[in-house]
Structure 1
């Protein structure tokens, strides 16, 4: 039985909500987020952040390869997974604040392993809080080089509407149908593997109305976060830390353009390295957890 097959949702958090085994609800960045920790407490710390709409258990295949030699900290962004509904709108600033507080709580600089859209947050954390980051592993990260959303910022305006929508879906129990169905449809497009946890765990997470509201809110805020990161690059340098960028080409469309963007991203650090994964779809942590684990080992070999 794998580590993922043992994952359940089995007890209440400090706020009365459910948490995963080894999990807790922690204050971070002005929010309350669900955090799940495993591995030796004195080992090097990894902070794992999922892509758009993801949950902590997306990392289960990777954690199974790493938790014997790293302190692995996976978390759910506000409103996602088992985190309570977000207090503030989704934004680059908010999510960097959450990461920064979790990194500080770990007791030292962390290696941030971020998938897809979370790559924005990880890179911004390294630029704004260089003392908090030991290394970066960006797993098929979102890569935007030309974004302009001046005058089109709506995430703050729609935040209360989406939060109320989530509450309404929860109250009517429609979220229990819509959420798990949406998760299944989405995964079919980005992975060839099954969920790493039992169906009841997926239902307990994606059946929450708050999760549906948070997924839409993150999607709305995507371009704003990308534009804010591009502006930040003009003001704050990326520290010369080990940086691994994994590029999934199995469903990338124009693979040359996608790989090129990732090569330029890796080149932002003199210790950057980009790796093509030709037959791997976007959910690298599902289809090639070994590639993620190898990247973590490489940055730790070069981070001493």
Structure 2
């Protein structure tokens, strides 16, 4: 059994940050933010999902920090960001706006990548001045914009009201997850990961998810149960790529396809065969590669006039 909050060593252990800072949100919430890589490299901002933390991005951070300035933050109540009594899509958007203001210079552009609730965060913030100012491109990873409980397949029943009710009850449970045990790993793997996920990947995800406080997990589950940010997709005008696993039970591939069809400027839909919901851990090379491709295509290169970049990109 283990109560560690992340993998202690290896690829999935969180790398040491070059710099740490605090972003203050609209309601005074103080968000833990960390930076990796060289300060003058093209910036990337990572937003993690429900019950996760910056540790969830460990493998993509190691990859991207070689040639990018990687900015990651803990959502409120997760990781090193204290919990508050405010759980809403507005709070998610406020927090992302605060991180962009704190970590980026005025007018500085970055690639924004959000996994699961992190993707919902970006969608909720669409149309805000901070996104218009700072988002050069976006990656929405293993996420959905509405009907999360109705579409989820973590309860092995046919679609319908009963499955939806049971899914809401399961994901919104107030029961503590307890230590990471072999049965707990099996449950987490079934619900959130592809069937071929290696033991070290399951272990890394289990440690992170089990570290999320029960009250925080429950508080955000209520927001996700009622989530509907479909209307915000029209305001997400930055070039946006969508990535998801075909074996995702928590946010099935139908969500990715629906989002890709609704985006004003979708620049690609990547379906990862056999991957589940935890794609930054299950397929870190694919996730980092998608971020790097967006940075290459849409971030202004050093000494390259913006006009040339706009002529170079579709």
TM-score, with structure 2 as normaliser: 0.69
Partner of 1:151: none
2:74 and 2:80 in contact (8 A); partners too: yes
Partner of 1:26: 22
User: Following superposition of structure 1 onto structure 2, how do residues 218-297 of structure 1 map, counting pairs within 5 Å?
Assistant: 218-224=220-226, 226-227=227-228, 229-233=229-233, 237-239=235-237, 241-252=238-249, 257-265=254-262, 268-297=263-292
Distance 2:142 2:253 in 1: 14
**Unaligned 5+ residue runs, structure 2?**
1-8, 150-171, 299-308, 310-314
Aligned-pair CA distance for 1:62: 0.9
Distance 1:85 1:198 in 2: 25
Q: 1:76 aligns with which of 66, 74, 77?
A: 74
Deviates more, 1:280-289 or 1:125-134: 125-134
- Secondary structure of 1:99's counterpart equals helix
Partner of 1:51: 49
Aligned-pair CA distance for 1:133: 1.3
The answer on 1:114 being equivalent to 2:109 is no
**Unaligned 5+ residue runs, structure 1?**
9-19, 148-161, 170-174
Aligned-pair CA distance for 1:34: 2.0
Distance 2:12 2:225 in 1: 33
Distance 1:301 1:275 in 2: 17
- Secondary structure of 1:80's counterpart equals coil
2:31 and 2:74 in contact (8 A); partners too: yes
Number of aligned residue pairs: give it.
256
Aligned-pair CA distance for 1:42: 1.0
Q: Please give the per-residue CA displacement for 1:164-219, whole angstroms capped at 9, x wherever unaligned.
A: xx9xx9xxxxx6x72656974434532324456998x948x8457xx221111110
- Secondary structure of 2:38's counterpart equals coil
RMSD: 3.5
Partner of 2:161: none
1:248 and 1:281 in contact (8 A); partners too: yes
Aligned-pair CA distance for 1:231: 4.3
2:115 and 2:140 in contact (8 A); partners too: yes
Distance 1:75 1:196, change over 3 A: farther
2:192 and 2:277 in contact (8 A); partners too: yes
Distance 1:247 1:197, change over 3 A: closer
- Secondary structure of 1:247's counterpart equals strand
Q: 2:40 aligns with which of 30, 42, 49?
A: 42
1:46 and 1:71 in contact (8 A); partners too: yes
- Secondary structure of 1:127's counterpart equals coil
Partner of 2:144: 142
